[in-house]
Amino acid sequence: METAQELKQTLNVLKRALIIEREERKENAANLEATKVKLKAIDEEIEAKVIQLNTITEKQGQLDEELSKAKDRLKNLPKAKPTPQKTSGSGSTKSIQALEQQNEKLMEEYSTLTRENKEDEEKVIKLKQELESYTKELSKTDEIIKEINNSVIRKNDEVNNKISSLSNEIAEIVKNKMRTLEKNSEYEEDIQNILITNKRMSEDTNNLKDFIKNKSELENRLIESVKSHEAMELDLESQVLRCKTQLFDSNDFYQEFEIKVFSLMMKCKGSMIIKKNNTGEFVIELLYKTKKECIFFREISNVYEHQNKDDRFVIEYNNKTKEILAENKGEIVARIREIIQRSQGIYSI
């Protein structure tokens, strides 16, 4: 299962991809608008040329009509008058030639406009194809953006669900920690009271031993008293051992120490938690930055204070070595050794 940090990183990647797709979509839209402007300009140019072509066609029709009329007039000229006929025929011929030249010129213009019109139509077809291509690309981009957006929404929901789940787990851990701390305080208080009583009994025993040196008549009674005190000491030791056994055998066992660990050649503040996991096995949790390392006691081969550096101790486990900085390193090392000994069946007060 992905962590909340990995889900957030994935969400950021998808958001960046969505931004890139949106930028590409804007660029394609701009290209589409430019193509539309070009297409509109060509349409206007074609329309103007069509108007010009129609005008030329109309003029050509008029010239054809005038040419036909001139030819008719030439045919209808009188044959009785040679001289005027020659003159009139010559003038009509010139008019016909002029009209034919003008007609040829109009035909050339008509041919040129027809060719240009065909070229413009080819340009229009090409631009329409480009427009269709841009439209398809925009459609594909829309689908990609929708897919990315849906993926972002799904990932965001996963992140929110993971954060909610982690929040519930943290709240439960805090509750368990508070309960364990309360029980640890009670156990520690009981142990302190037992140790104080044991110390007082030891002092009484020493005083009685001094007293019987000069009081032989009380020797037997004092001996019995000493035995009684020794029995009480053994009983107190048994109670201390039983309290420690209850403390270590409790599933709610929890003890936390402030430490520093090395991460990327830097000292990081953190905490070391000695507790039992869900299966009742003793573990060490190292919490620093956003990381959590777990060391099982069954994996620990040795623990000792550093020989050359007074501010740290060393844990050896699974062919690894872990240096940890702590002000109360001696207490931590003693506690770890005590738990290891108990797991091996060695009990001590």
Q: How many domains does the chain have?
A: 3
Residue 169: inside a domain: no
- Write out the residue range of the structural domain in which residue 21 sits: 4-164
Q: Given a cut of 70, is residue 346 above it in pLDDT?
A: no
Residue range 28-56, pLDDT digits in tens: 889 888 988 988 898 898 888 889 888 98
**Residue 305 covered by a domain:** yes
Judge whether 320 lies within some domain. yes
- Are 81 and 124 members of one domain? yes
Which segments of the chain are extended strands (E)?
Answer: 254-263, 266-276, 282-288, 291-296, 300-305, 312-317, 320-325
Let me know whether 195 and 304 are in one domain.
no
Q: Are residues 197 and 272 in the same domain?
A: no
Please tell me whether residue 268 adopts helix, strand or coil conformation. strand
Per the model's pLDDT, the better-predicted residue between 184 and 254 turns out to be: 254
Q: What pLDDT, on a 0 to 100 scale, did the predictor assign at position 246?
A: 53
Query: Across residues 201-223, what is the average pLDDT?
Result: 80
State the pLDDT at residue 349.
Answer: 46
Residue 220 lies inside a defined structural domain of this protein: yes
- Provide mean pLDDT across the span 79-86: 52
Same domain, 257 and 224: no
Question: Average pLDDT for residues 289-307, to the nearest whole number?
Answer: 95
- Check residue 315 and give its pLDDT: 97
pLDDT of residue 89: 59
Residue 250 is predicted with a pLDDT of 54
* Same domain for 115 and 43: yes
- Distance (Å, whole) CA 312 – CA 304: 9
Q: Is residue 91 part of a domain?
A: yes
Q: What is the mean pLDDT of residues 336-345?
A: 87
Are 244 and 260 in the same domain?
no
Residues 64, 13 share a domain: yes
- 170: in domain: no
Q: What is the mean pLDDT of residues 130-145?
A: 81
pLDDT digits (tens, 9 = 90+) for 226-248: 777 777 777 676 665 556 555 55
**Position 59 pLDDT exceeds 50:** yes
End of a domain among 105, 140, 164? 164
Q: What average pLDDT does the segment 109-138 reach?
A: 85
Domain endpoint, select from 139, 164, 189: 164
Distance CA 127, CA 46 (A): 14
Closest by CA to 257, choosing from 210, 197, 198, 326, is: 326
Closest CA to 187 of 239, 235, 258, 236: 239
Same structural domain, 258 and 321: yes
pLDDT > 90? residue 293: yes
Which CATH number characterizes residue 63's domain?
Answer: 1.10.287.1490
Nearby residues of 299 by Cβ (< 8 Å), 6 or more positions away: 317, 318
pLDDT for res 248: 55
8 A C-beta contact, residue 40 and residue 128:
no
Do 87 and 113 meet the contact criterion of CB atoms below 8 Å apart? no
Q: What is the mean pLDDT of residues 280-295?
A: 94
Q: What pLDDT does 83 receive?
A: 53
Mean pLDDT of the 141-159 span: 80
Mean pLDDT of the chain: 83
Residues 331 and 300 in one domain: yes
Amino acid present at 307: Q
With respect to residue 348, please indicate whether it lies within any of the assigned structural domains. Answer: no
pLDDT value of position 257: 97
Top-confidence range, 91-95, 123-127, 145-149? 123-127
What pLDDT, on a 0 to 100 scale, did the predictor assign at position 139?
A: 84
Are 113 and 234 found together in one domain? no
Q: Is residue 242 part of a domain?
A: yes
The percent of the chain in helix, strand and coil, each rounded to the nearest 5, is 75, 15, 10
In a shared domain, residues 11 and 151? yes
pLDDT reported for residue 62: 84
Give whole-number Cα distances, 280 to 116, 174, 252, 297, in Å: 92, 19, 9, 12
Last-in-domain residue among 164, 199, 233: 164
> In 3D, which of 329, 337, 170 has the Cα closest to residue 257?
329
Residues 35 and 160 in one domain: yes
